[in-house]
Amino acid sequence: MGQLKFERKFSEKLKERVIAPKPGSWEELSARLDSEEKRKNPIFWWIGIAATIIGGILIFGSFFNEPVPNNPEVVNVPVEIPEQKENRIQKNASEKAKPHEIAFEENKEIIETPASKKTLKASEEQKASQRENKSAVVSVNKNIRVQDPILEPEIIVAGVPEILQTNQDAIEEVLLREHSGNVKDAEVDALLAEAGSQLNKNREQKAFSVKITANDLLWDLEMEMEASFREKVFEVVKDGYLKARTAVVNRNNSF
Amino acid sequence: MKVIQLFKNETKLITRAANNNRAAQEELYRKYSGKMLSVCRMYIKDLHHAEEVMLKGFFKVFKHISSFKNEGSFEGWVRKIMIREAISFLRSKKDIEFAEEVFEDSNQSFNNINSGIEVEHIQKLIDSLPEGYKVVFVMYAIEGYKHQEISKMLNITEGTSKSQLFKARKMLQEKLNTQSISDYGTVKI
């Protein structure tokens, strides 16, 4: 069923027809297009604003999340068993005391070196090293006293300065002689032997001297207290016994 | 040469309009608005509504002008948009109704009236048709769409489209015949 003749005529005439739109129709359309563009633009603006805000938040977040060096860090400390703690305390105590022990051992070496010198051949190099040791010991001891005043003076005093004091003259003499080059091995050995014997004497004296400690005193006091309490009990019992005896005697007499 | 020149000019105009050039858009509007209002008027009886539909159609044209690939005629593309917009308008007004009827190809033949009537009169005849008949008739007889295309665009069956056209033709034929009798000797036939 194709187009009829009148339909063709209709089509031709209607396709040729032009109806002028009302004046101002373009302005209306233009305004609609403008408003559409404006509506589009805010979307881009909002996207931009949102992106800026998110970026800002991220930057600030990273800035505030940075660790502050002044604030102490919170660290999970593992719970220590009391035994471990005690061991650690003991260790620390031993570490504290170490420098003195080292110094003391070094002194020992200095003092005991003459005894072992028989086995070791004395040479000029060894002497030089010994001299270095001696001076090192002196300086170490001095440093310890200056640097660590918290330590108990009893520990520091333990033997070392005493030896130094006693042998100071001899050491100075040896040093002077060494400088002048007049020192003999035999003299050095004799001096060191003398210092060693003095040290032994001191040790023996200390060993014989009675030590009174706080624990001993406490123990004695406890013993005394215990004894007095026992005596008191005995006295009370004794009094009671006597009273009872006199009472019985009095009763018998009254009968 | 002149046709090629015009085509080139129009292509440039379309490109500029696609780049939101208002002047180019205005030029295209001035060029096609009269014809497109006529198209809208064929479907919509009220001129104001037709104009409103035309403006909406042009708004869509300029919004989607970048999707036009210069493969066919620009006028044809714009016309298609106008027709769709007009159908959409009629659907929104619920004026358009298609009675689902089985088309029976009757042997009734239409007289080929050699109409010499004016365009306004033709429009009046078309306006007198029911909306369903009118749309199918305009699409088929004036725009040259096939029943398959009409059925897809109007979401109806091909049979419905054919029956709508048949009834529209019959109605117009009767009106033209009546007119020729009443206006005997005065109407150009």
CA A214 to CA A230: how far, in whole Å? 24
**Beta carbon pairs, A and B, within 8 Å:** 89
CB of A134 closer than 8 Å to CB of A78: no
Chain A residues in contact with B54 (beta carbon < 8 A):
21
CA distance B174 to B164: 15
Inter-residue contact A195 to A167 (CB < 8 Å): yes
pTM metric for this prediction = 0.49
Is the ipTM above a cut-off of 0.85?
Answer: no
Percent of chain B with pLDDT over 70: 79
Cβ atoms within 10 Å, residue B166: 21
From CA B130, how far away is CA B163, in angstroms rounded?
13
Is the sign of the CA dihedral A215, A221, A224, A226 positive or negative? negative
Query: In A20-151, where does DSSP find H-type helix?
Result: 25-65, 82-116, 124-147
CA distance A108 to A115: 11
Half-sphere CA count of A225, side-chain side, radius 13 A: 6
Which residue has better confidence, A90 or B46? Answer: B46
Q: For residue range B101-160, list pLDDT tens digits in order.
A: 655 555 555 555 555 678 888 899 999 999 889 999 999 999 999 999 999 999 999 999
d(CA B59, CA A32): 8
Q: Is B110 left (phi over 0), alpha (psi -120 to 50) or beta?
A: beta
Tokens of B179: 């007119």
b/e burial code for range A47-81 (CB count within 10 A of at least 16 → b): eeeeeeeeeeeeeeeeeeeeeeeeeeeeeeeeeee
Smallest Cα distance from A5 to chain B, Å? 6
| Mean pLDDT for the stretch of residues A51-55 | 87
Comparing C-alpha atoms, which of A29, A11, A13 is closest to residue A21?
Answer: A29
| Cα→Cα distances B106→B69, B103, B151, B170, Å | 43, 9, 21, 12
pLDDT in tens, A205-226: 877 666 678 888 888 888 887 7
Q: Which two tokens stand for residue A41?
A: 């633009």
Amino acid identity, position A250: N
Query: Does the pLDDT value for residue A116 go beyond 50?
Result: no
Between B53 and B110, where is the model more confident?
A: B53
Provide residues of B within 8 Å CB-CB of chain A. 20, 22, 25-26, 29-30, 33-35, 37-38, 41-42, 47, 50-51, 54-55, 58-59, 62-63, 110, 112-116, 118-119, 122-123, 126, 141-142, 144, 162, 165, 169, 172, 176
Q: How far is CA A138 from the centre of its chain?
A: 29
Neighbours of A196 (CB within 10 A): 18
Burial of A11 (0-12, 13-18, 19+ CB in 10 A): middle
Confidence of residue A61 (pLDDT cuts 50, 70, 90): confident
Inter-chain contact B58–A6, Cβ cutoff 8 Å? no
Mean pLDDT to the nearest integer, B86-105: 74
Please name the residues in contact with B11: beta carbons below 8 A apart, sequence gap of 6 or more.
B70
User: Residue B74 corresponds to which tokens in the numbers above?
Assistant: 């620009």
Q: Is B89 in contact with B53 (CB distance < 8 Å)?
A: yes
**Cβ contact, residue pair B142, A28, below 8 Å:** no
Nearest chain A CA: its distance from B8 CA (Å): 24
Question: What letter does residue A67 receive in the DSSP assignment?
Answer: P
| Predicted confidence band of residue A113 (pLDDT cuts 50, 70, 90) | very low
Which one is predicted more confidently, B40 or A172? B40
Residues 6+ apart with CB under 8 A from A144: A99, A100, A103, A151, A156
